[in-house]
Amino acid sequence: MDINLTAPNGKNISFSTGLFINNQFVKGSSSESLASIDPATEDPICSVEVATDADVDTAVQAARAAFDNPAWRDLTPEQRAALLHKAADLIEAHKEDLFTLQALDVGKPFPASMHFEAPHTAGCLRYYAGWADKLHGQTVPVSKDKFGYTLRQPVGVCGAITPGTSRSPPRPWKLGPALATGNCVIMKPSEYTPLSALYLAKLFAEAGYPPGVVQVLNGHGRSTGEALVNHPGVDKIAFTGSVATGQRILKLAAGQMKRTTIEAGGKSAFLVFADADLEQAAKWAISGGFGNAGQICSANSRILVQRAVQQQFLDIFSRMARASKVGMPFDASTTQGPQASKMQYNKIMGYIESANQDGAELVMGGGRYQDLGDKGYFVQPTIYKGVTRDMKIFHEEIFGPVLAVTAFETEDEAVALANDSAYGLAAMVFTENIKVAHRTAARLQSGMVYINESNNVDWKLPFRGSKQSGLGSELGESGLDAYLEEKVIHLNLG
């Protein structure tokens, strides 16, 4: 189970591939294992242990014991905050190893991880450390003889199911609020990207979290994931992934009325009005659309441009997009790495084919990125224009570097096009007119609206989807709610 490897950046990394239960790496009870494939080379990196129903049960029992263990249960808020700070310190100290492993496993460019994810991961944990001693309830003087107050208490054992995408934020977004509020967490990473969560969990143990508070179980969604959702000892599921899986989890969780938060996919509209600063709009469309090789849930994958400036915008946008550098994850000049998995790569190729068949006009890209040879899941940054409401690429989430451009004439038409979606994760509005921005933001059916920027996530603000994009919030103060149960105390003084 112990692996030692040298990555292309020369880093020597040691890690274990076991299930992480009770602060130890252990073998699973099945002989099955899960291969982690380097998406840049298609070479196997290693295999990890797979958790069976019995292993899920062992981890849940450990988490239940930890939840009731005074070593965790009775910590003061200040002590819970100190542990989160310590975990953040260790992430900062070991960020090169952690994000090297992630770059190998997921294909995310290493320089981008060091620049954004490392500080984001540690910063998000520190933000929630700050909340640990501010979890107040309410006091209600009901009458002369009666006083009421509320307590906000941890939910219990939380399953954190995360997707196979090229970034780890879903983990600190869940671990931060869960641990600040005194819960125990069992992480179930994607079967396509199983490695970095194992390394992360080890850092939490080193930080001093008691056994059973932070655990990791790798395995497939339909088996390990469902065993976690179905286990009666799990009080809450925090899920990030596709709408279809979110719906399945909701159905399973309903039987036990299990607390469930869902962060699902999106088809976020990016509105460019004629008065917008087009250079700025194009710059943000690139980072919010092609960043992480398009594997961002809130990617601005539908670009709606006022017809009067469509050509001018497309010229700037495609010029900037051509400057993107598709390359190997450890190459310093790489801005776009491979897709995280073959499954995802094949799905994107299917959408490119459907766009061509549906008559969308190709502006650039439109296929495999060939310059790196025939290995690796590399896709060209791709832009289609003339995309209409009846086309698949207008409605369906591609989760890759393929952006659809549609022209509009009026503000009303822009809002109608943007709202014509089953999703409602994010929307972006580019205009120099504050009245248009304000009015449009209020009318867009999405959990988040960015004005003159895109996907500039900040942990101090909630991250949430409306419609089929989600249930509940992560990040910000509201990100705590899903990890707390409110209890009402009636005190009779008569």
CB atoms within 10 A of CB 140: 13
State how far the Cα of 167 lies from the Cα of 218, in Å rounded to an integer. Answer: 17
**Nearest CA among 165, 346, 150 for reference residue 241:** 165
> Is residue 438 within 8 Å of 254, Cβ to Cβ?
no
Q: Which of 115, 222, 325, 460 binds ligand NAD (CB under 6 A)?
A: 222
263 is catalytic: yes
Nearer to ligand NAD, 290 or 313 (CB): 290
Q: Are 423 and 266 in contact (CB under 8 A)?
A: yes
Distances (CA, A) of 110 to 16, 293, 375, 492: 21, 13, 19, 60
Contact yes or no for 11/199 (Cβ under 8 A): no
Sites for ligand NAD among residues 396-415 (CB under 6 A)? 397, 399
Nearer to ligand NAD, 135 or 299 (CB): 299
Nearest approach, Cβ of residue 171 and ligand NAD (Å): 11
The verdict on 268 binding ligand NAD (CB under 6 A) reads: no
Residues 284-343 interacting with ligand NAD (rule: CB under 6 A): 297
Q: Tell whether residue 472 is a contact of ligand NAD (CB under 6 A).
A: no
Residues 105-164 that bind ligand NAD (CB under 6 A): 161-164
Closer residue to ligand NAD in complex, CB, 181/240: 240
- Token pair of 161 as six digits: 């199911």
Which residue has the CB atom at the shortest distance from ligand NAD? 221
Residues comprising the chain, all counted: 494
Question: ∠ CA 245-246-249 to the nearest 5 degrees?
Answer: 85
176 is a site residue for ligand NAD (CB under 6 A): no
Closest separation between CB of residue 465 and ligand NAD, Å? 6
Piece of 6-14, 217-225, 278-286, 409-417 that binds ligand NAD (CB under 6 A): 217-225
Nearest approach, Cβ of 191 to ligand NAD (angstroms)? 5
Pair 36, 46: CB distance under 8 Å: yes
Residue choice 94, 202, 231, 248 for contact with ligand NAD (CB under 6 A): 248
CB 335 within 8 A of CB 324: yes
Closer to ligand NAD at the Cβ: 81 or 352? 352
Shorter beta-carbon distance to ligand NAD: residue 221 or 365? 221
Nearer to ligand NAD, 210 or 246 (CB): 246
The Cα–Cα gap between 393 and 357 comes to 11
Residue 271 forms beta bridges with which residues? 304, 429
Question: How far does CA 122 lie from the centroid of its chain?
Answer: 15
Question: Which CB, 101 or 316, lies closer to ligand NAD?
Answer: 101
Pick the closer one to ligand NAD by CB: 273 or 377.
Answer: 377
Within 368-397, which residues bind ligand NAD (CB under 6 A)?
A: 397
Question: 3-state DSSP call for residue 362?
Answer: strand
CB of 67 or CB of 173, closer to ligand NAD: 173
Determine the interface stretch with ligand NAD among 38-46, 198-206, 259-267, 414-422 (rule: CB under 6 A).
259-267
Stretch near ligand NAD under the rule CB under 6 A, chosen from 208-216, 244-252, 310-318, 481-489: 244-252
Smallest gap from Cβ 304 to ligand NAD, in A, equals: 20
Q: Determine contact, residues 149/279, Cβ cutoff 8 Å.
A: no
Residue 432-471 contact track with ligand NAD, rule CB under 6 A, x = bound: ---------------------------------x----x-
User: What contacts 266, CB < 8 A, 6 or more positions away?
Assistant: 297, 298, 299, 301, 397, 423, 424, 425, 426, 465, 469
How many residues interact with ligand NAD (rule CB under 6 A)?
29
| CB neighbour burial string for 380-416, b if at least 16 within 10 angstroms, e if fewer | bbbbbbbbeeebbbbebbbbbbbbbbbbbeebeebbe
Q: Nearest approach, Cβ of 101 to ligand NAD (angstroms)? A: 17
- Cβ–Cβ under 8 Å, residues 11 and 97: yes
The residue within the footprint of ligand NAD, chosen from 245, 334, 440, 473 (CB under 6 A), is 245
The catalytic residue among 49, 191, 226, 263 is 263
Using CB under 6 A as the binding rule, the residues of this chain from 177 to 196 that contact ligand NAD are 188, 190-191
- d(CA 459, CA 168) in angstroms, rounded, equals 14
Report in angstroms how near the CB of residue 264 gets to ligand NAD at its nearest. Answer: 6
Is residue 251 a contact residue for ligand NAD (CB under 6 A)?
no
Q: Which of 109, 210, 241, 291 binds ligand NAD (CB under 6 A)?
A: 241
Asked if 163 and 191 count as a contact pair (C-beta separation under 8 A), the reply is no
User: Phi/psi zone of residue 215: left (φ > 0), alpha (ψ -120 to 50 degrees), beta?
Assistant: beta
Active site residues: 263
Binding footprint of ligand NAD on the chain (CB under 6 A)? 161-165, 170, 188, 190-191, 221-222, 225-226, 229, 240-242, 245, 248-249, 263-266, 297, 397, 399, 465, 470
